[in-house]
């Protein structure tokens, strides 16, 4: 059950789709929502910092904190209007430690919510990848163009028989249980990891039925390099409102490496993506 949610707030004043989306989730599940805003210190190499006057560094830090506090104020106002249980945290990470700080914090929540990175704008890639690999919790990544809150009219679950896909579907059960329509989408190619003795998707469909989730199995062919496009094309054709998928890749020391489908989806998503690793 989803009862404890964490959302990363954006500094931009115009709009914060992740904030509004997280509030909608909290309403649907009667969950508590914690918003996190970061006040960043300049992250320059030591030799560069030595050349910066201290008053300029202090001013940059003060402006970041001011923007974070403004984001918190907007969140608090929105939470009060929607009458949800909520709190906020202002964090001041050292250097580039914000992704690690948030991924550790997210371990104590059921779900994290983030905004997709914007081209030539907000860059949340490190934050998303760190939380995906290191928190042990699922995430929802919201398109930066998102206007609506959570809609469960038509959920598309990406199924290839893998451990990551299994984990994502299991973590997403609270959402699937409330969905109107659930598709089990299988992109058929040489990497689809399904036993030859199993009818494609049949066993997973029976498992979900035992959780009162009725699914329809859909199969589409696509070469490995076109899996992302095949998924997004199908979602567009059926007016899908949420994608559920496994996060592929691994974390090696501080280097985050995403699989091709995961990276492609985070770059090209047109609807919110529930992702679990």
Segment 65-71 mean pLDDT: 94
Rounded to the nearest angstrom, the gap between the alpha carbon of residue 267 and the centroid of all alpha carbons in its chain is 12
- The predicted-structure confidence for 45-60, as pLDDT tens digits, reads as follows 554 445 655 666 677 7
pTM of the model: 0.88
Pairing of strands 154-158, 242-246: parallel
pLDDT at 47: 47
CA distance 113 to 7: 5
Segment 11-36 mean pLDDT: 94
Instruction: Report the first-to-last Cα separation within the chain, whole angstroms.
Output: 18
* Long-range CB contact pairs, 46-53, < 8 A, 24+: none
* CA angle centred on 256, ends 250 and 261, rounded to 5°: 65
pLDDT at 247: 82
pLDDT at 125: 92
pLDDT at 19: 97
pLDDT at 52: 55
Percentage of the chain with pLDDT > 70? Answer: 84
Q: What is the SS3 assignment for 50? A: coil
Rounded to the nearest angstrom, the gap between the alpha carbon of residue 123 and the centroid of all alpha carbons in its chain is 14
Report the residue count for the chain.
277
- 10 Å Cβ neighbour count for 211? 12
Weakest-pLDDT range from 40-49, 79-88, 131-140, 158-167: 40-49
Q: Which residue has the tokens 């496009």?
A: 229
Residue 252 has pLDDT above 90, yes or no: no
Domains in the chain and their CATH numbers?
4-142 (3.40.50.620), 154-275 (3.40.50.620)
């Amino acid at each position: 059950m989803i009862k404890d949610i964490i959302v990363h707030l954006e500094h931009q004043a115009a709009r914060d789709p992740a904030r509004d989306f997280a509030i909608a989730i909290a309403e649907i599940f009667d969950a508590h929502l914690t918003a996190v805003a970061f006040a960043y210190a300049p992250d320059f190499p030591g030799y560069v910092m030595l050349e910066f006057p201290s008053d300029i560094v202090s001013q940059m830090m003060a402006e970041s904190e001011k923007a974070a506090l403004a984001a918190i104020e907007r969140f608090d106002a929105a939470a009060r209007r929607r009458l949800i249980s909520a709190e906020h945290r202002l964090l001041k990470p050292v250097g580039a430690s914000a992704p690690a700080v948030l991924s550790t914090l997210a371990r104590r929540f059921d779900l994290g919510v983030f905004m997709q990175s914007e081209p030539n704008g907000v860059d949340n890639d490190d934050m998303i990848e760190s939380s995906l690999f290191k928190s042990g919790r699922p995430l929802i990544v919201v398109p930066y163009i998102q206007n609506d809150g959570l809609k469960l009219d038509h959920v598309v679950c990406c199924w290839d028989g893998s451990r990551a896909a299994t984990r994502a579907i299991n973590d997403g059960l609270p959402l699937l249980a409330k969905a109107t329509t659930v598709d089990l989408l299988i992109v058929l190619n040489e990497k689809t990891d399904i036993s030859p003795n199993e009818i494609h998707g049949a066993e997973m469909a029976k498992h979900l039925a035992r959780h009162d989730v009725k699914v329809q199995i859909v199969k589409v062919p696509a070469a490995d390099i076109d899996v992302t496009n095949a998924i997004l094309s199908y979602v567009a054709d059926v007016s899908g409102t949420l994608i559920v998928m496994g996060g592929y890749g691994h974390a090696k020391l501080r280097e985050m490496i995403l699989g091709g489908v995961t990276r492609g989806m985070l770059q090209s998503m047109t609807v919110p993506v529930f992702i679990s690793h």
